[in-house]
Amino acid sequence: MRNIIILLAAFFPFVATAQSAKNAESAWLLSHYTKQEVYIPMRDGKKLYTTIYAPKGAKEQHPILMNRTPYSIAPYGETKFKAFWTNHYMSYFRKEYIIVLQDVRGKMMSEGEYVDVRPYTPNKKNNDIDEASDTYDAIEWLLKNVKNNNGNVGIFGISYPGFYATMGALSQHPAMKASSPQAPVTEWFIGDDFHHNGALMVMDAFNFYSSFGKPRPKPTTTYSSGFQYYTKDAYKFYLETGPIKNLAKLMGDSIEFWKDLYAHPNYDQWWQVRNTRKYVQHIPDGVATLVVGGLFDAEDCFGAWELYKSIERKAHNNNKLVMGPWSHGGWSRNSGEYLGNVRFGSNTAKWYQENLEIPFFEYYLRGKGDINKIPEVSIFFTGANEWRSFNSWPPAHHTDKEMYLHKNGSLSYTTPSISDRTGYNEYLSDPNKPVPFVDGVITRRTSEYMTDDQRFASYRTDVLTFTTDILNNDLSIAGAITANVFTSLSTTDADFIVKIIDVFPDKFSYIDSIDGKGNGKDYPMGGYQMLVRGEIMRGKYRNSFEYPEAFAPGRITEVSYKLPDVAHVFKKGHRLMVQIQSSWFPLADRNPQQFVNIYTCDKEDFVSSLIRIYSSANHPSHIVLPVIE
């Protein structure tokens, strides 16, 4: 190995330096920390498998920082350390935190039954359990059994562990001082992971649950394998598989959540009790929260924005928000300098870690630093590529401005002429030839699609495109964009995907010294159509997620919904574009375009629909932009 590193150093000095740094970090961790594996008993008698990393020869008391996960705390064995040196956990080890990892109830090596997004129980009795009580019981044991702890506990986690961080904030344990739900699973029917506005995000759902959802009869150290696809072309696979009921056959009968998914096609009580936002009023005043997310998180962008807003409305604790230019978890695993072809000009992840997250825990768990130096809201604005601070979100000083879609494909603040009462554009939406969500062949859902070039979609006849003139001034958007679409269908249902796009100047190219290094060096960035935000609305849920409604064929109907929040500057010289389409495949499942149960319908139920988008004085389709100066 030593000779290989020497050879690499001769030809690739950076590789050798990175390898040396990795070796140095891992060696330091092994020499300064011990690892202990224990089973911690819960109030109902079940035991949860827990790993405790503690500093050796401690001369002072240290805070405890927890991460509870359904994804395994491997490697198992007290002589095997997790590769913390690959992410920013090392910052906490260098500061001699006691790091605690736990397999949640029913997963991997922990006992008990696993329940997806286990509902929170506000008024527990006797041995009632939920994820909050499991956190409480774990904290109680740790305080009594881990030497040299200072009595202060924090919890953080990304994605599903972000959900457990929210539950930790709800634990009611007096030692719980700070929680950071990051890309938190918050609402699985409206906007996170597996549904967006009632539409099934089929690629993520099927790929994830074909492995994660497999039953685990007894504790194990082995993670289940997923479905073996017969092709690397995801578009081909999902189209040839056909209706969603055929995916159920491929999934099999053993995965309970997949059966629950089919049993609850609408937003009924089963989904509603899994809405974390319903319970945040129970977060104690003494528990500070730092909600973190990515502007381009393909999985839980909704959860981060909306959890923060719910805590602000319902709780009375110190609550802060951070949103950076990241994909899912990009603030911990990557530098955050670019995503796909789009660059952000700096190491945004490092800046976040050093200026926001670490000082947050240092203050609440150690009493060090000044919490007032961490703004209430810290948002990275893409386009301008800069961090901005606010006292609230959305900013109190924003102005809602309506921008109208015109029959000629233009987009402007001018309302359609009063003389134009019948204007519309139309397209034929064919579910057997759905609009792809990315250009090219892919096997799995990409993270980069959130900033991908949309020129491929502009060329399709089943995608409508509306574009502003070249902007004479910067246009800064801060908050949720509302889409108000007046439409008529030839059928009884359809989906609507509205995309907000930044069109770069035709002669645009990146300058490394200003924009930073990243992908896209050889990609034609002139005229690039950057997806800033896109979102789907399943038409039958336009008025209620609980009680779907059919469209009356030929009748003009308004479909209005909010896209997840945006923080972006459309620069002078750029243009703003809106695209509207009715499929986004296979990111989202296909709508048969008839008012049927999509989970049980047949191949024959999928029909084409003639869809009109109106741009008349009586029916002025438009978007509402939250604009700040």
Query: Mean pLDDT, to the nearest integer, of 342-355?
Result: 97
Residue 14 has pLDDT above 70, yes or no: no
| Cα–Cα distance, 282 to 600 (Å, whole number) | 39
Question: What are the tokens at 200?
Answer: 């099934």
CB half-sphere exposure, 308, CA atoms < 13 A: 27
| 616 close to 423: Cβ distance less than 8 angstroms | yes
pLDDT for position 10: 34
What residues does 533 pair with on adjacent strands? Answer: 500
* Concatenated DSSP letters of 331-374: HHHS--SEETTEE-SS-HHHHHIIIIIHHHHIIIII--S-GGGS
Q: How far is CA 579 from CA 132, 435, 564, in A?
A: 43, 12, 16
pLDDT band at 317 (very low <50, low <70, confident <90, very high): very high
CB half-sphere exposure, 270, CA atoms < 13 A: 11
Residue 7 has pLDDT above 50, yes or no: no
pLDDT band at 3 (very low <50, low <70, confident <90, very high): very low
Q: How far is CA 501 from CA 174, 296, 430, 533, in A?
A: 47, 13, 24, 7
pLDDT for position 453: 98
Mean pLDDT, the chain, whole residue set: 94
| 338 close to 518: Cβ distance less than 8 angstroms | yes
- 384: CB partners within 8 A, 6+ apart: 474, 476, 569, 571
Q: How far is CA 53 from CA 42, 140, 150, 160, 587, in A?
A: 21, 17, 15, 22, 39
pLDDT for position 4: 34
Phi and psi at 464, nearest 5°, equal -90, 140
Q: Which range has the worst mean pLDDT, 3-17, 241-255, 465-479?
A: 3-17
Does 8 or 361 have the greater pLDDT score?
361
Question: What are the tokens at 298?
Answer: 């393909």
Query: Mean pLDDT, to the nearest integer, of 39-66?
Result: 95
pLDDT for position 379: 98
pLDDT for position 192: 96
| Cα–Cα distance, 396 to 386 (Å, whole number) | 20
Q: What single DSSP character describes residue 414?
A: S
pLDDT for position 6: 35
pLDDT for position 517: 84
Query: Mean pLDDT, to the nearest integer, of 38-57?
Result: 97
| 568 close to 520: Cβ distance less than 8 angstroms | no
Query: Mean pLDDT, to the nearest integer, of 505-520?
Result: 89
Residue 24, H or E segment: helix 13-32
Q: Which range has the worst mean pLDDT, 50-59, 280-289, 453-462, 547-556?
A: 50-59
The string of pLDDT tens digits covering residues 397-444 is 999 999 999 999 999 999 998 666 679 999 999 999 999 999 999 999
Q: How far is CA 15 from CA 8, 12, 199, 225, 334, in A?
A: 7, 5, 44, 32, 17
Which domains are assigned to the chain? 399-628 (2.60.120.260)
Q: Please report, rounded to a whole number, the percentage of residues in the chain having pLDDT higher than 70.
A: 96
| Cα–Cα distance, 505 to 470 (Å, whole number) | 9
CB half-sphere exposure, 110, CA atoms < 13 A: 29
338-339 and 342-343 beta bridge pairing: antiparallel
Residue 280 has pLDDT above 90, yes or no: yes
Residue 21 has pLDDT above 90, yes or no: no
| Cα–Cα distance, 151 to 289 (Å, whole number) | 18
| pTM listed for this prediction | 0.95
Sign for the pseudo-dihedral over CA of 362, 364, 368, 374: positive
Query: Mean pLDDT, to the nearest integer, of 486-495?
Result: 98
Residue 518 has pLDDT above 50, yes or no: yes
- 125: CB partners within 8 A, 6+ apart: none
pLDDT for position 2: 37
The string of pLDDT tens digits covering residues 560-579 is 999 999 999 999 999 999 99
Q: 470 burial class (0-12, 13-18, 19+ CB within 10 angstroms)? A: exposed
Q: How much of the chain is in helix, strand and coil states, percent to nearest 5?
A: 25, 25, 45
